[in-house]
C-alpha cells in the first residue's frame, strides 16, 4: 500500500499530472467548468505564490468568503499549499438578515485573528465595513487580484508538518456561539483516508456528486479534500441551485453516473416530496453505491419513504448510508457498512425517558398499530453504524464511567482524527477535548455493536422530571398536514408548577386556519407521546432561527420566545426586492467605510513619509477603488 502523504500540501502536489479526471463545477446557466486534477494542482500552486507575494506567511489566518464553487476550491487549496490557514465562511447573498451576517462574520474573523479577508469583486462592496470592524484585519483582497503570474517562488510542501494547522472550521452555532475548530493536516489525513479507502472503498470509476456548501465540513472535507486522497472525480452543483430546484441533485447523479453522494435528512424528505411520478421513469439511480445521510438526526420514516419512492429508478436498498460526525472530529466518526440495508432500533418510550434505558420494544402487532391505545408509541432510531476504522466510540455516564449496551449516555470519540482543540479558546478546549476523548455533547447508545445517536444534551426537554429528545416531539408535530417538515422546534418553558412544552413551527397556512392547526399539533403529540403541549406558535416560512448550514437553533428560538421577540428578525430569504434594498444599504455603508479606511491609510503614509517612517494605519485593500 502506498505510504500516507504527510500533509494536504503534499496531497495537492500528488495529483499533478493526472489529466484524465478532476473536478467539474456546474454553473447556474447550465454550462460546466472542468478542471483536471493536474489543473487543480497547478492552479492552487500559482495562487499560493500570489498569497505569499501579498505578505501571507505560514500560520497566518486568511478569511474566505467566496460564493463561486470553483474559485472557492482553488483558493482554499492554494492556502493549504502555502501553509496559510484558511477560515471558510458562508457568503452573504444567499441569505437575508445582512446586518446579522456582518456581525457573525466579524465575530469569526476576530476569533480567528485573521490578517486578511479574500472575497470576489461581486461581494467586495458588502464586506468592506469589516476592515474597520475587525482589529488586526489588514486588508480585503479579491480572487480577481490573483490573476497572472507571481514573482514569489512555489511553496515547499516539506516546510509543513503533519501537526500544523490546516484550516479553522468554525462550528455552525446551533447550540452556542461559533468556535474555531483547529483541524490539523494529520487529522485530515487520518479522517479522509479512513473515509475513502476503508469506509467508501473508493476505486477507479467512482465519482462524487455534491450540492453541499463548501464552507462546512461535510461539503468541504467530504467532497473537496477527501477526493484528492483517492483521487476521485467530483461534480459540484451550486447549493442555491439545489435549494431552488431540488430535483437537480438526483438528475445530476443520473446524468454523470455518480456513485457517491451525501446529504442531510431534510434533503431526502425534500426530493421525495418534490419528485413527480413522470420524473421517476426518467431517472436511473442504479449507479449509486453510497448515498450518505448525516449532519442532522436521521428520521426513519423519511429514509424509508425515500427508498420506497426511488426504488423504481434502480436505487439499491443498500445504497443508503447513515453516518455520524462533527467538526471537532475533523468530519466522520461512524458509518454503516456499504453492504447493509437501513437498520433501525425500536425502543420502549417509558424506560428511555424515565431511566435512560434503550430497551428493545416488542414487535409491532399485527394490524399495524404501533402501540396499544393506552401505551406510548415506541421510539425509533436509525443506526449510525460502527466507529471509523482506527478510531473508537464509547458511551459514558455523568461520572465518566463507560456504559454497557442499551444504556443512554454521552458519546465520546477517540482516535487520530480528533481535532487539536478550539483556536485561542483554552477553556472551551479543556471542556471538550478531554483525557477520556472528544466529548461530543450528543446522547446515544450502542445495541448489537452499532451506535444510535438520540439527541443533543443541551437540547434535552425536561418535563415532569423526565428527559425528552426534542426531535422526537418535532417529528410528530411535523406529521400534521400544514406544518413545514424540518421547520419545527420543541422546548420547555417555566410553568406555574412545572416545566411546560412549547412547539414553534413554520407554516404557509393563513392566520384564520392556524388555531385548528395548533389543535391538531397538540392532539398528535398527546396521542403519540402522551405529552400535553401548553402552546403552539406558528411563524411564516423562513422565520425560525437557523445556522448557516440550515440547522435549527433551538436555544435561540427558546430565548426569543421567552423574550417575546421570536419572528422579529424577519425571514432568512428576503425576496428579490427586499434583498436588493438591504444589499443597497450595506453597499452604501461599506463604501463609506472604505473611503474612511483609504483616507486613514493615505494620511498614515503621508505622515510616515514626512517623519521618515510609517506610523500605524492598516494596509490598503488589494484592488483599489
CATH number of the domain where residue 180 is located? 3.40.50.12780
What CATH number corresponds to the domain at position 489?
3.30.300.30
Question: Mean pLDDT over residues 251-255, rounded?
Answer: 97
Q: Indicate if 228 and 105 belong to the same structural domain.
A: yes
In the chain, the percentage of residues whose pLDDT exceeds 90 is 62
291 domain-assigned: no
Q: How many domains does the chain have?
A: 3
Question: Mean pLDDT over residues 469-478, rounded?
Answer: 85
Q: Indicate if 421 and 518 belong to the same structural domain.
A: no
Interval 15-24: pLDDT, tens: 999 998 999 9
**Res. 95: pLDDT tops 90:** no
Question: Mean pLDDT over residues 462-466, rounded?
Answer: 76
What CATH number corresponds to the domain at position 438?
2.30.38.10
Q: Indicate if 498 and 394 belong to the same structural domain.
A: no
Contact present, 85 and 168 (Cβ < 8 Å): yes
The CB density around residue 338, as the number of other CB atoms within 10 Å, is 13
- Distance separating alpha carbons of residues 555 and 340, to the nearest angstrom: 36
434 domain-assigned: yes
Domain final residue, candidates 432, 458, 484: 458
- Strand arrangement, sheet containing 116-119: 85-88, 61-64, 116-119, 139-142
When pLDDT is cut at 50, 70 and 90, the band that residue 348 belongs to is very high
618 domain-assigned: no
313 domain-assigned: no
Pairing of strands 386-387, 332-335: antiparallel
Domain final residue, candidates 514, 532, 563: 563
Residue 236: what pLDDT?
A: 98
Q: Indicate if 50 and 165 belong to the same structural domain.
A: yes
Q: Indicate if 530 and 394 belong to the same structural domain.
A: no
DSSP label of 620: P
534 domain-assigned: yes
Question: Mean pLDDT over residues 590-605, rounded?
Answer: 49
Interval 186-237: pLDDT, tens: 999 999 999 999 999 999 999 999 999 999 899 999 999 999 998 999 999 9
Q: Indicate if 168 and 214 belong to the same structural domain.
A: yes
- Distance separating alpha carbons of residues 390 and 604, to the nearest angstrom: 55
DSSP alpha helices (H): ranges in 346-410?
349-355
Q: Give the range of the structural domain holding residue 42, as residue numbers without chain letter.
A: 1-190+207-244
- Distance separating alpha carbons of residues 135 and 528, to the nearest angstrom: 53
Q: Closest by alpha carbon to 28, among 246, 283, 242?
A: 242
When pLDDT is cut at 50, 70 and 90, the band that residue 551 belongs to is confident
Q: Indicate if 510 and 447 belong to the same structural domain.
A: no
Q: Indicate if 53 and 93 belong to the same structural domain.
A: yes
Question: Mean pLDDT over residues 357-361, rounded?
Answer: 93
Q: Indicate if 218 and 185 belong to the same structural domain.
A: yes
263 domain-assigned: no
Query: Which helix (H) or strand (E) covers residue 517, if one does?
Result: helix 511-529
Query: What integer best gives the mean pLDDT of the chain?
Result: 86
Contact present, 140 and 119 (Cβ < 8 Å): yes
Place of cell 468568503: 65
State the burial class of residue 316 (Cβ atoms within 10 Å of its Cβ: 0-12, 13-18, 19+).
middle
Which range (35-39, 169-173, 306-310, 529-533) has the least confidence? 169-173
Q: Indicate if 381 and 518 belong to the same structural domain.
A: no
Interval 191-205: pLDDT, tens: 999 999 999 999 999
Residue 2: what pLDDT?
A: 47
Asked whether the bond before 231 is cis by omega within 30 degrees of 0, the reply is yes
DSSP alpha helices (H): ranges in 95-230?
98-112, 121-127, 129-133, 185-193, 217-220, 226-229
159-174 per-residue burial string, b: 16 or more CB within 10 A, e: under 16: ebebebbbbbbbbbbb
The C-alpha cell of 602 is what?
493615505
Residue 569: what pLDDT?
A: 64
Residue 117: what pLDDT?
A: 97
Residue 472: what pLDDT?
A: 83
**Res. 371: pLDDT tops 50:** no
422 domain-assigned: yes
- Distance separating alpha carbons of residues 457 and 475, to the nearest angstrom: 18
The CB density around residue 89, as the number of other CB atoms within 10 Å, is 24
Domain final residue, candidates 563, 595, 616: 563
161 domain-assigned: yes
Q: Indicate if 465 and 451 belong to the same structural domain.
A: no
Q: Indicate if 217 and 90 belong to the same structural domain.
A: yes
Interval 564-590: pLDDT, tens: 888 766 555 433 334 443 444 444 454
Amino acid at each position: 500500500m502506498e505510504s500516507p502523504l504527510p500533509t494536504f500540501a503534499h496531497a495537492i502536489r500528488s495529483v499533478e499530472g493526472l489529466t484524465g479526471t478532476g473536478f467539474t463545477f456546474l454553473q447556474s446557466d447550465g454550462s460546466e467548468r472542468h478542471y483536471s486534477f493536474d489543473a487543480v494542482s497547478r492552479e492552487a500552486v500559482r495562487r499560493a505564490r500570489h498569497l505569499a507575494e501579498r505578505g501571507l506567511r505560514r500560520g497566518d489566518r486568511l478569511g474566505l468568503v467566496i460564493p463561486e464553487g470553483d474559485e472557492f476550491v482553488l483558493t482554499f487549496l492554494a492556502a493549504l499549499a502555502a501553509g496559510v490557514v484558511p477560515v471558510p465562511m458562508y457568503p452573504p447573498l444567499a441569505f437575508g438578515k445582512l446586518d446579522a451576517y456582518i456581525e457573525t462574520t466579524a465575530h469569526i474573523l476576530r476569533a480567528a485573528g485573521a490578517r486578511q479577508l479574500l472575497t470576489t469583486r461581486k461581494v467586495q462592496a458588502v464586506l468592506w465595513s469589516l476592515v474597520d470592524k475587525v482589529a488586526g484585519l489588514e486588508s480585503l483582497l479579491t480572487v480577481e487580484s490573483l490573476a497572472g503570474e507571481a514573482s514569489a517562488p512555489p511553496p515547499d510542501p516539506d516546510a509543513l508538518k503533519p501537526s500544523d494547522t490546516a484550516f479553522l472550521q468554525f462550528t455552525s452555532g446551533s447550540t452556542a456561539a461559533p468556535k474555531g475548530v483547529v483541524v490539523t493536516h494529520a487529522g485530515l489525513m487520518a479522517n479522509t483516508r479512513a473515509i475513502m479507502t476503508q469506509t467508501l472503498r473508493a476505486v477507479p470509476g467512482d465519482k462524487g456528486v455534491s450540492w453541499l456548501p463548501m464552507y462546512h465540513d461535510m461539503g468541504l472535507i467530504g467532497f473537496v479534500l477527501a477526493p484528492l486522497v483517492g483521487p476521485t472525480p467530483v461534480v459540484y452543483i451550486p447549493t442555491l441551485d439545489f435549494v431552488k430546484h431540488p430535483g437537480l441533485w438526483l438528475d445530476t447523479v443520473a446524468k454523470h453516473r455518480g456513485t457517491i453522494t451525501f446529504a442531510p435528512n431534510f434533503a431526502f424528505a425534500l426530493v421525495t416530496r418534490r419528485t413527480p411520478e413522470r420524473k421517476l421513469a426518467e431517472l436511473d439511480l442504479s449507479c449509486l453505491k453510497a448515498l450518505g445521510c448525516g449532519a442532522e438526526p436521521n428520521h426513519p420514516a423519511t429514509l424509508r419513504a425515500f427508498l420506497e419512492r426511488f426504488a423504481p429508478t434502480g436505487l439499491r436498498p443498500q445504497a443508503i448510508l447513515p453516518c455520524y460526525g462533527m467538526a471537532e472530529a475533523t468530519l466522520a466518526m461512524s458509518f454503516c457498512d456499504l453492504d447493509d440495508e437501513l437498520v433501525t432500533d425500536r425502543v420502549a418510550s417509558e424506560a428511555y425517558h424515565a431511566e435512560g434505558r434503550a430497551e428493545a420494544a416488542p414487535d409491532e402487532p399485527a394490524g399495524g398499530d404501533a402501540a396499544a391505545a393506552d401505551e406510548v408509541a415506541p421510539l425509533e432510531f436509525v443506526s449510525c453504524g460502527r466507529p471509523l476504522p482506527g478510531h473508537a466510540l464509547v458511551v459514558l455516564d455523568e461520572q465518566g464511567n463507560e456504559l454497557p449496551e442499551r444504556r443512554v449516555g454521552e458519546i465520546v470519540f477517540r482516535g487520530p482524527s480528533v481535532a487539536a482543540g478550539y483556536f485561542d479558546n483554552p477553556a472551551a478546549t479543556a471542556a471538550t477535548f478531554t483525557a477520556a476523548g472528544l466529548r461530543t455533547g450528543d446522547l446515544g447508545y450502542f445495541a448489537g455493536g452499532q451506535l444510535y445517536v438520540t439527541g443533543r444534551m443541551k437540547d434535552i426537554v425536561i418535563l415532569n422530571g423526565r428527559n425528552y429528545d426534542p426531535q422526537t416531539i418535532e417529528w410528530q408535530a411535523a406529521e400534521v398536514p400544514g406544518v413545514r417538515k424540518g421547520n419545527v422546534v420543541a422546548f420547555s418553558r417555566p410553568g406555574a408548577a412545572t416545566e411546560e412544552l412549547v412547539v414553534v413551527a413554520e407554516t404557509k397556512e393563513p392566520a384564520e386556519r392556524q388555531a385548528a392547526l395548533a389543535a391538531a399539533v397538540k392532539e398528535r403529540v398527546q396521542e403519540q407521546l402522551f405529552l400535553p403541549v401548553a402552546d403552539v406558535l406558528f411563524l411564516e416560512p423562513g422565520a425560525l432561527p437557523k445556522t448557516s448550514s440550515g440547522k435549527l437553533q433551538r436555544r435561540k428560538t427558546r430565548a426569543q420566545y421567552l423574550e417575546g421577540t421570536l419572528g422579529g428578525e424577519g425571514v432568512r430569504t428576503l425576496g428579490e426586492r427586499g434583498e436588493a434594498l438591504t444589499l443597497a444599504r450595506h453597499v452604501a455603508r461599506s463604501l463609506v467605510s472604505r473611503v474612511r479606511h483609504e483616507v486613514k491609510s493615505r494620511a498614515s503614509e503621508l505622515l510616515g513619509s514626512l517623519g521618515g517612517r510609517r506610523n500605524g494605519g492598516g494596509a490598503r485593500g488589494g484592488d483599489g477603488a
